[in-house]
Amino acid sequence: MRPRDRSDEAVDRSVVRSEKRFAGRVIGVRTDWVDLGDGHQVERDYVVHPGAVGVVAINGDLQVLMVHQYRHPIGALLWELPAGLLDVHGEAPADAIARELFEEGGYRASTWSVLLDAFTSPGGSDESVRIYLARDLTQVPADERHVGEDEERDMLIDWVPLVEARDAALAGRFHNSLAIMGILAAAAVLIDGVAVDRTADAPWFRAARRAPDAASS
């Protein structure tokens, strides 16, 4: 038996056929017919997603910057991290999250690292998210602030002690997945002393984009 390093690994499964079911402003839905080997073929529906980035921005008092944002699909105001979609063509993930921190939080950071990467729902979506840790923050001057639109027009921004945010996540008071993952990871690093050694441009294990073996639509 070969040794296992306990890391996720990409595998090649032949996509016999692929059909586009829906194409929206942000997401799409596809159906793939996949050959799992030995002639065993399965049909899988999944959401096609551009991916997203989020940031745990920490100040000198060990507080995390959070936003209170309305989310229509669940009809709730959620405490979240500054975050956004990777929907700007050609924009690097590290640049995208720096932009989101500026636009949603009104801050810039001079020290960045990667906290974690995750697939949010790999059984039904190819969405991949990367969460950064940002420190050494500088507030954007008032006359340079970004003006929010839509749900961000009156979005509350607040500093929450990291310990309090960790406890709120574990007590079930926070429900945004990026916020929970990022806060718990940041607490492990900044409170428990777990080492982080991934730079902001570290390799990112994301969904493969393979062309189907047969015609797709």
Residue 202 token pair: 């570290």
Closest CA to 53 of 162, 169, 210, 182: 182
DSSP codes, 35-85: E-STT-EEEEEEEE---EEEEEEB-TTSEEEEEEEEEGGGTEEEEE-SEEE
Question: CA angle 87-91-96, nearest 5°?
Answer: 75
The Cα 10–Cα 206 span in angstroms is 9
Instruction: Identify the bridge partners of residue 68 per DSSP, sorted by sequence position.
Output: 79, 156
- Residues 6+ positions from 180 with CB-CB distance below 8 Å: 169, 174
Tell me how far apart the 2 most distant CA atoms of the chain are, in Å: 64
Residue 210 token pair: 């393979």
> Is 18:212 a contact under the CB 8 Å cutoff?
yes
Q: Please list the active-site residues.
A: 152
